[in-house]
Amino acid sequence: MRETPLTNCEKDFVKKSVAENRRIDGRQPYDTRKAKITFGVDRGSCQVQLGQTRVFAQVSCEVAEPKPSRPSDGILFVNLELSPMACPSFEAGRLSDYGVELNRLLERCLKESRCLDTESLCITTGEKVWSIRVDVHVLNHDGNIIDAASIAAISVLAHFRRPDVTVSGTEITIHPIEERDPVPLSVHHMPLCVTFAFFEQGKYLVVDPTDLEEKVMDGKMVIGMNKHREICTLQITGDIQLEKDQVLRCSNIAVVKVTEMTELIHKALDNDRQVRASGGKFGFAESISIEKVTSNQMKGSEINMEDAEEQASALVLSDQDSETPSDTIEDEETVVHVLNKGVGSIGQGGASQWTIDEEEAEKMQTEVKFKMTRTKSAHKNLPTATDGDLGDNSEEEETIVLGQDMKIISQQERQNSQKMQTKTGDVKMKKGKKYMKK
């Protein structure tokens, strides 16, 4: 799908307003949008909102073989996904140039700055190390994805806990979370990206550009920095030439922004830790109800459906004397005998397989009857519809068609079904054997 094209009018207006030190969302040029960090119920998942831009990050870990060049280092893998949810022009599965650029930038910011102590992820040198994977999904694109992604990635790494491992001799034991407290990753420092957008050949600059500003800008500079004033990555793209003091000025602004943001991350982590320790409620769901207090008016309601136990018994009762006449249920039971062998192997979904199939041949006639009675009862249940209404699209028509087809091929089907039965029988035998081995 295509994005709405940019108009000359919007372009001119953005340029004009930047020249007047104004921005469309009411910010000052050096203001960032309001950031919000929420952690999930599971360790190692978090959502970051930067204005309307929204990203979701998830950490997963597994034991893997180290790279031959670095036998005692764990592996950190960073993946930034531009989900088609975020913007109609993003396509699933295919990485655009923009996607590659952001991915590399984030990877560089996290890996090259060595913010994660990879040596501590080693289990046995040259054989087993932890491989940590960070997936960052962009959910809504309103500019400045990289800043939001870098906040999410580093917060989620700090939030994650990996299972504990003990090594005795050649034996490695990975303790499940229930058994032993999981261990945090050792995060040395928190590199965060700050984006500056430049207009009119670097004459004007704004921090944290929105989508519209990103479309209009001449070029941008991304500074990755930690709170110790160490620059971890720096990238200038676009049609701009900057002077030395411009870069210096930007890095000074970045220091302020990074310090603020690092504080926010620590606060969010602390909050989460406290809530977990005190046994309170946490997770994304809680963040919603908090927002509700701040009267976001488009919020869905939260209802608690604690049905009473009576409903269960009522259910069972209604199950016994359900709407369909009891004799049709018996009908089904006779069908069961034929179906029986296939039942165990009804498996993982996929497309509907309910074409006229092997075993069904024999019981088809009875089932047609069953369906007929059902549709009739449905008619009765509907107070509004007259018989004529449903006739258009009800099952009745379909079932009749099925019935006719069946008569024609039923002979063949019967033979097939016998074959099938023997086949399924075999499968069962095999399954049984497997069970024995276990």
Partner 1 sequence: MSNSSKRSNLRVMSAELSLLSRPDGSATLFQGDTCVMSAVYGPGEVRINKEQIDRATVEVIYKPRSGLPGCTEKSQERLIRNTCETVLLSSLHPRSSVSLTVQEMQNSGSLLACCINSMCLALLDSGMSMKCLVAAVHCVLDFEGAVFLDATDKEEKGAQACVTFVFDSVDKNVVMVHAVGKYSVEQFNKCMSVCRTASADIFHFYRETMTKKLKRS
Partner 2 sequence: MVDHVGTVFLPGDTIHNLNKSEKTGKIIIGPGLRQESETIIVSKPGILRHKEPNIYWIDSHQKKYVPVKGEQVLGVVTAKAGDVFRVDVGGSEQATLSYLSFEGATKRNRPDVKVGDIVFARFLVANKDMEPELVCMDGAGRSSGMGVIGRDRGFMFTCSLNLIRKILSPGCVLLKTLGNGNRFEITVGMNGRVWIHGRSVVDTIMVANAISAAEFMDKDQIRAMCSKLADRFIVVE
Using an 8 Å Cβ cutoff, are 74 and 66 in contact? Answer: yes
Q: Which of residues 106-165 bind partner 1 (CB under 8 A)?
A: 133, 135, 137, 139-142
The rounded distance, in Å, linking the Cα atoms of 184 and 189 is 14
Closest CA to 230 of 188, 186, 197: 188
Residue with tokens 């054997």: 433
Strand partners, 172: 167
From the CB of 5, what's the least distance to partner 1, in Å?
Answer: 12
Cβ closer to partner 2: 293 or 351? 293
Q: 424-428: long-range contacts (C-beta < 8 A, 24 or more apart)?
A: 424/341, 424/342, 424/345, 425/341, 427/345, 428/341, 428/344
392 contact choice in partner 2, partner 1, none (CB below 5 to 8 Å, kind-dependent): partner 2
Q: Sign of the C-alpha dihedral, residues 309, 310, 313, 319?
A: negative
384 contact choice in partner 1, partner 2, none (CB below 5 to 8 Å, kind-dependent): partner 2
- Could you say which of 24, 100, 177, 285 contacts partner 1 (CB under 8 A)? 285
- Could you say which of 42, 117, 200, 389 contacts partner 2 (CB under 8 A)? 389
Q: How many residues form the binding site for partner 1 (CB under 8 A)?
A: 72
Q: Which of residues 7-26 bind partner 2 (CB under 8 A)?
A: 7-13, 16-17, 20, 22, 24, 26
The rounded distance, in Å, linking the Cα atoms of 312 and 318 is 10
Q: Does residue 344 interact with partner 1 by CB under 8 A?
A: yes
Q: Does residue 388 interact with partner 2 by CB under 8 A?
A: yes
Cβ closer to partner 2: 304 or 393? 393
Structure tokens at 270: 């602390």
Cβ closer to partner 2: 385 or 429? 385
- Residue 23 Cα to chain centre, angstroms: 33
Cβ closer to partner 2: 178 or 392? 392
Q: Does residue 351 interact with partner 1 by CB under 8 A?
A: yes
Q: Does residue 293 interact with partner 1 by CB under 8 A?
A: no
CB-CB neighbours of 305 under 10 Å: 4
Cβ closer to partner 1: 47 or 262? 47
Closest CA to 420 of 350, 362, 364: 362
Q: Which of residues 298-337 bind partner 2 (CB under 8 A)?
A: 298
From the CB of 181, what's the least distance to partner 1, in Å?
Answer: 19
The strand ranges marked E within 108-150 are: 122-124, 128-140
- Could you say which of 55, 59, 185, 265 contacts partner 1 (CB under 8 A)? 59
Q: Does residue 83 interact with partner 1 by CB under 8 A?
A: yes
- Could you say which of 5, 93, 169, 279 contacts partner 2 (CB under 8 A)? 5
From the CB of 254, what's the least distance to partner 1, in Å?
Answer: 27
Q: Which of residues 301-330 bind partner 1 (CB under 8 A)?
A: 301-309, 311-313, 315-316, 318-319, 322, 329
CB-CB neighbours of 167 under 10 Å: 11
Residues with Cβ within 8 Å of residue 300, at least 6 apart in sequence: none
40 contact choice in partner 1, partner 2, none (CB below 5 to 8 Å, kind-dependent): partner 1
Torsion of CA 152, 86, 15, 97, to 10 degrees: 80
Using an 8 Å Cβ cutoff, are 146 and 98 in contact? Answer: no
From the CB of 325, what's the least distance to partner 1, in Å?
Answer: 14
Using an 8 Å Cβ cutoff, are 130 and 118 in contact? Answer: no
- Could you say which of 278, 294, 297, 352 contacts partner 2 (CB under 8 A)? 297
Using an 8 Å Cβ cutoff, are 240 and 207 in contact? Answer: no
Residue 166 identity:
T
From the CB of 98, what's the least distance to partner 1, in Å?
Answer: 15
Give contact residues for partner 2 (rule: CB under 8 A): 2, 4-13, 16-17, 20, 22, 24, 26, 297-298, 384-386, 388-389, 392
